[in-house]
Homo-oligomer: A and B are copies of this chain.
Amino acid sequence: MNTRFYNAKILTLADHHKFEITEGELWVKGNTICYIGDGTDTADVCKEGEVLVWDREIDACGNLLMPGFKNAHTHTAMTFLRSYADDLPLQDWLNQQVFPREGQLTEDDVYWLNILGIMEYLTSGITSNFDMYFFPPVDAKASADTGFRTVQTSGLNNFGGTVELMEENYHIVNEMSDLTSFIVGFHAEYTTSKELMEGVAALAQKLKSPVWLHNSETKLEVAECKERWGMTPTQLTDSLGMYEYGGGGYHCVWFEEPDFEIFKKRHLTAVTNPASNLKLASGICPTKRFVDEGIAMAIGTDGPASNNCLDMFREMFLTSALAKVREMDAECVGADEILYMATAGGAHAMQLEDCDRLAVGKKADIVMIDLNQPNMQPENNIVKNLVYSGSKQNVKMTMINGKVLYEDNHFEIGFDPKEIYQRANAIIGRMK
C-alpha cells in the first residue's frame, strides 16, 4: 500500500521535547514514511527508474497528521471486567472480583477480549500497546491478525508462569510478526519470590533485554517491601541486577529519593497511569520531579477494569493536570512535554524507536486528527488543543504500519464489531 496525504498539517519533532507543525504532504511507501514536505522537493524519494503508484491519495482537508499514541502500560484483555466491580476497596476488588474470574479465562477468550481492546485503542489514536497479561503469544496473535502493533511483557509471579515459559514466549512473540515484540518483565515485587526475580534478572542478562514491572503503585506496596527487604522495590530489583539493559516501572507513584537516583543512573523509564491511580485511590505520580531530573517518562492507560477506558486523551490531560495540582504549580509539565511522553516517550520505553515520530524512514504509525470540531477551535495552539481539549471524537483515522485500520468510525481489522461485542458479553456472562 502506498498512500499520499496532501493538504495536511504535519506534527514533527523539532528537538527533544518540542513539536512543530508544517503544512504539506506526507507520503507512505509500504509501511514506511518516505516523504514529508511541500510536495516540490520529491526527486530523491524514489530510486532511479522507480515509479511510486498510489493506492490511495487522501485529502487531509487541513487536518493534522501526528504520530500514533503509544499506550505504555495496559492489560488489554481485561476488557471483560470493564465496569464489572468498581467502587470497591482495592483488595476486595482484586481478590473477590478480578482473580476468580481471570482464573476462568481460556486462551480463546483472551484472543477475543484483546480484539475488543484493540478496537478501542484505534478509536483513541493508539497505534501500539505495552501489554502484560496471560498468554502473551495469544495476545500477540490478536494484534498480528488485526494489524495492531504490540509489545508484550510477562506478568510472571508466584501464582503463574515460569522463567522458562517467559523465555519461550520471548522467542515466539519476537518472531511472530514485524508487528509483535517481547521484552522481559514480571508482575511486581509483592507477588514474586526472590528466587523468581533472580531468574528474571538472569534471563534479562542472557537475552540482553530490559526489565519491566509494576513498581511503587501503592504506599502499602513500598512499605511492605521495605519491611521485607530493607529496600524499596526499585532498590531491590536494581540490587538483583535487573537493569543491565535498562527497562523501567509502571505506575511509579510512591518513589523515594534513592529510586530517582537509580532511575537516572540506569536510564530507566517511569510509565505513569494517572486515571487508574486515581480510581483505585493509589496516589498521584511525582511527574514534575521525574521531568526535572531528566528521567524518561511515558503514559499508559492501565487495564480497562481499573480505568475503565483506553483513552490516551484522558491520560494526557491527567498527567499534566495532576502534576500541576500535586505541586500547586499551574506552570509545570506543559503540553509539549506531555505529548512527547505519549508518543516518542512511549516508543522509547517500548523499543519502538522506528515509530516514535513522523519523519522519513520511520514506520507509518499515523493518526489523523479532525481539527474541524468545536473543541479544536480556534487554532491558537494545536499542541495545547490536543493535550488539554482533545478527545477520541477527534480521531478521524488511525494507520498502523502503513495500513488504515480505523477511519470515520469504521474499523478495517477483518472482524465484525458486533461479533466482538457479542463474544465479550458472552465471556463475562458465562462467569456471572
Contact = CB atoms under 8 A, between A and B. Distances in A.
A327 B325 CA distance: 15
Given A79-B378, A284-B325, A308 B278 contact: no
Query: Which of the listed residues A93, A116, A377, A390 has the most CB atoms from chain B within 10 Å of its own CB?
Result: A377
Interface centre among A119, A421, A424, A425 (most CB of B within 10 A): A421
A12 interface: no
Contacts of A374: 79, 116-117, 119-120, 123, 417, 420-421
Contact of A372 (B379, B390, B421): B421
A321 interface: yes
B93 A330 contact: yes
B389 A83 contact: yes
Interface string A14-58: 000000000000000000000000000000000000000000000
A428 interface: yes
A171 to B, nearest CB: 31
Interface in A365-385: 372-375, 377-382, 384-385
Interface in A327-355: 327-332, 334-335
Interface stretch (A157-165, A172-180, A181-189, A309-317): A309-317
A264 interface: no
Nearest to A117: B374
A86 B384 contact: yes
Copies of this protein, total: 2
Nearest to A116: B374
Interface in A111-163: 116-117, 119-120, 123
Nearest to A337: B87
A266 interface: no
Contacts of A254: none
Given A281-B325, A309-B388, A334 B425 contact: no
Given A83-B381, A418-B372, A388 B89 contact: no
Contacts of A207: none
A198 to B, nearest CB: 33
B424 A378 contact: yes
B93 A317 contact: no
Nearest to A418: B372
A58 B280 CA distance: 40
A324 B320 CA distance: 19
A391 B311 contact: yes
B428 A282 contact: no
Contacts of A317: 275, 314
Range class of the A interface residue count: 35 or more
A307 interface: yes
A418 B79 CA distance: 38
A80 interface: yes
A421 B375 contact: no
A309 to B, nearest CB: 3
B311 A281 contact: no
A322 interface: yes
A59 to B, nearest CB: 16
A379 B425 contact: yes
A340 to B, nearest CB: 14
A325 B283 contact: yes
Given A84-B380, A93-B330, A116-B377, 4 more contacts: A82-B378, A83-B381, A83-B385, A314-B317
Q: State the 7 A-B residue pairs at the shortest beta-carbon distance, nearest first.
A: A309-B389, A83-B384, A278-B321, A120-B374, A87-B334, A119-B374, A308-B388
27 contacts: A82-B389, A83-B384, A86-B334, A86-B384, A87-B330, A87-B334, A87-B335, A87-B384, A88-B331, A89-B330, A90-B330, A120-B374, A123-B373, A278-B324, A281-B328, A281-B329, A282-B325, A307-B389, A310-B375, A374-B420, A374-B421, A375-B392, A378-B425, A378-B429, A379-B425, A380-B428, A392-B392
Interface of A: 79-84, 86-90, 93, 116-117, 119-120, 123, 275, 277-284, 304, 307-311, 314, 317, 320-322, 324-325, 327-332, 334-335, 372-375, 377-382, 384-385, 388-393, 417-418, 420-421, 424-425, 427-429
